[in-house]
């Protein structure tokens, strides 16, 4: 799993420094001042476990990713 930041230019998302094969499915999170993500305790625990596992992988950025999400709620 990769975490990358991009910019919308002419309706397309441009991500610097990351090359993905054609057809790659991606998930996009956008800031929303009104909404925040609330997880039940079991899903939150599962998320943290997955992030810990991702941290073991080369280039893991679980902690940085969580820090970046805090600004959204």
Q: What is the pLDDT of residues 1-60, one digit of tens each?
A: 677 888 899 998 888 888 888 988 888 877 777 767 788 999 988 988 888 887 776 654
> What is the end-to-end Cα distance of the chain in Å, rounded?
23
> For residues 13 and 28, is the Cβ–Cβ distance under 8 A?
yes
Residue 62: how many CB atoms within 10 A of its CB?
Answer: 19
Domain ranges of the chain: 6-70
Q: What is the pTM of this model?
A: 0.39
């Amino acid at each position: 799993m990769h975490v990358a930041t991009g910019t919308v230019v002419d309706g397309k998302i441009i991500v610097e420094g990351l090359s993905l094969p054609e057809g790659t499915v991606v998930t996009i999170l956008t800031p929303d001042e009104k909404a925040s993500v609330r997880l039940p305790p079991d899903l939150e625990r599962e998320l943290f476990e997955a992030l810990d596992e991702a941290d073991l992988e080369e280039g893991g950025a679980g902690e940085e990713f969580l820090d970046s999400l805090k600004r959204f709620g």
